[in-house]
Structure 1
Amino acid sequence: MAVRVSATSIVDAVANDLRARILQGGLSTKISLTETETATTYDVARPTAKAAIEKLVAEGLLVRGAHKTARVAELGPDSVRDIYLARAYLESEVLRRLASVRAVPAGAVRANLDIAAVSGGSAMDVVEPDMRFHTCLIDAVGSERISKIYRSLVGEVRLCMTRVQSLNLLDTGLIQAEHQRILELLADGDGQAAALLLDEHLGRARERLVEAIGGTAGPEARLPSSLIPL
């Protein structure tokens, strides 16, 4: 399989294609990836294949096994909860800081409009704008290091989001509505309320995914949205 290379490096091109296949479900946890097989598949040198695999191992999308083989990371309940915990710590504090200056990132607004536009379509279409919404909030703080820390989680976060959407665990309309309310709370300067809504938003996704992969869901899985009158 030849990979087209433009401005990106060959290593990045191979890694990007492997990443897309993983996130789209084209590679399962049962398939092993050796450097030799990857080099043959993409018609590249073995060191190039090795570097591409190591890039995805660093992102948490692949895990190394014996004899230099790699497999798609299999997320268990504990891993899912840990990924969402890391997200919540970073994103909650970011919301408080943005609210303190009533900052509403334009990129997050556009991303949420894109989510509204795909409502009623494929649940998988929500993954990209959803990821963009949360990343825009992080980047709006203007801290290179905070953005770098968040991006170290992006591969695993996106893997979780892909699983959530592929299993239809969340309603697209609810995702968009809660995002919109978070933006409104930022504009109002209410960081605490924004952070609480984010915890509810992430907690529902987290516990429903935990249940879907064989774990015992916490009460957050069945909590109604605070946007919906009881």
Structure 2
Amino acid sequence: MVVLPDIEPVSRESTAAVIARQLRDAIMTGALPPGTQLGETDLASRFQVSRGPLREAMQHLVSEGLLRSERHRGLFVIDLEPSDVFDIYLARSAVERAALLCALRGDREQIAASLEQSVADMAAAANDDDPTALSAADLAFHEALINASGSKRLVRMARTLLIETRMCLTLLQSTYQGVEDRVDEHTRIIDALRTGDADAALHLLDAHMEDAIGRLVPGTSLKEGEAPAPA
């Protein structure tokens, strides 16, 4: 076999996939806020592409639930109604509880160390007064926890949920009195994981989710199944 040095892997990412990724990131970070209408002409000009790959990319996001199609009107970034926010956290709670149980059976010290990096990034972002970086670090914690499960299906199930969560975090940011609340909640989950205390870890994760949904949609409870009435 001939060895060829300095050969770079060929990127197989299609134009549509690149566009979808950039639109997904813009939705996640709030650059494209909920309710924004996406115009084909404007986006095709911005991406400097034809409408074919642009339409393919946007249909990917429709199938992921991040865009909605309105007949005779076009495509819009989804709005997150209170019932949607409740549903996001309900689904996240199920996925992350399963991931946490898997992580407890793995290399707990290594997993705890990776999660601590995200918490350190949260504290650093707070010191820099950077809400965007703070939300990114918060999300990275939960993504790392799910990845630590070793379950491809949990990771796949969580992908869109975490993007929708990032949309929620923009709203959640203003409800915390200080970042210490967020750092402390995450740190206690890590401590319970490191010691292998499954009951405490699950209780803390449940409390973390309850706290978030209570701030975002007052009067609702994941534990009690008290979802907000549909609009």
- TM-score category, normalised to shorter length: 0.7 to 0.9
Query: SS at the partner of 1:134?
Result: helix
Q: 135-144 vs 170-179, which deviates more?
A: 170-179
The residue that corresponds to 2:138 in the other structure is 130
Give matches, 1:33-44, under 5 Å.
33-44=38-49
1:88 aligns to 2:93 (yes or no)? yes
The residue that corresponds to 1:202 in the other structure is 209
Query: SS at the partner of 1:64?
Result: strand
Question: Which of 102, 105, 128 is 1:97 aligned to?
Answer: 102
The residue that corresponds to 1:61 in the other structure is 66
Counting matched residue pairs gives: 208
Q: Give CA deviations for 1:9-46 in whole Å, capped at 9, x if unaligned.
A: 42233223323333343334443214344223322111
The residue that corresponds to 1:78 in the other structure is 83
**Partner AA of 1:138 in structure 2:** I
The residue that corresponds to 1:218 in the other structure is 220
Query: SS at the partner of 1:152?
Result: helix
**Partner AA of 2:184 in structure 1:** A
Deviation of 1:88 after TM superposition, in Å, equals: 0.4
Counterpart Cα distance in 2 of 1:66 and 1:128: 34
Q: Is the 8 A contact 1:99 1:185 kept in 2?
A: no
The residue that corresponds to 1:155 in the other structure is 163
**How has the CA–CA distance of structure 1 residues 162 and 57 changed in structure 2, closer, same or farther, with 3 Å as cutoff?**
farther
Query: SS at the partner of 1:63?
Result: strand
**How has the CA–CA distance of structure 1 residues 101 and 13 changed in structure 2, closer, same or farther, with 3 Å as cutoff?**
closer
Counterpart Cα distance in 2 of 1:123 and 1:32: 25
Work out the percentage of aligned pairs sharing the same amino acid.
Answer: 34
RMSD: 2.3
1:48 aligns to 2:53 (yes or no)? yes
**How has the CA–CA distance of structure 1 residues 63 and 183 changed in structure 2, closer, same or farther, with 3 Å as cutoff?**
same
Q: 123-132 vs 82-91, which deviates more?
A: 123-132
Query: SS at the partner of 1:119?
Result: helix
Q: Is the 8 A contact 1:59 1:154 kept in 2?
A: no
Query: SS at the partner of 2:108?
Result: coil
Counterpart Cα distance in 1 of 2:189 and 2:94: 16
Q: 90-99 vs 195-204, which deviates more?
A: 90-99
Gaps of 5+ in 1: 1-5, 212-216, 221-230
**Partner AA of 1:67 in structure 2:** H
**Partner AA of 2:30 in structure 1:** G
Q: TM-score, normalised by structure 1?
A: 0.80
Counterpart Cα distance in 1 of 2:187 and 2:204: 11
Counterpart Cα distance in 1 of 2:161 and 2:58: 17
The residue that corresponds to 1:169 in the other structure is 175
**Partner AA of 2:167 in structure 1:** L
**Partner AA of 1:14 in structure 2:** I
Q: Is the 8 A contact 1:102 1:186 kept in 2?
A: no
**Partner AA of 1:146 in structure 2:** L
Q: Give CA deviations for 1:153-211 in whole Å, capped at 9, x if unaligned.
A: 2221221123322xx12232211111111111011111121111111112211121124
Q: Which has the larger radius of gyration?
A: 2
Gaps of 5+ in 2: 1-9, 223-231
Q: Is the 8 A contact 2:213 2:220 kept in 1?
A: no
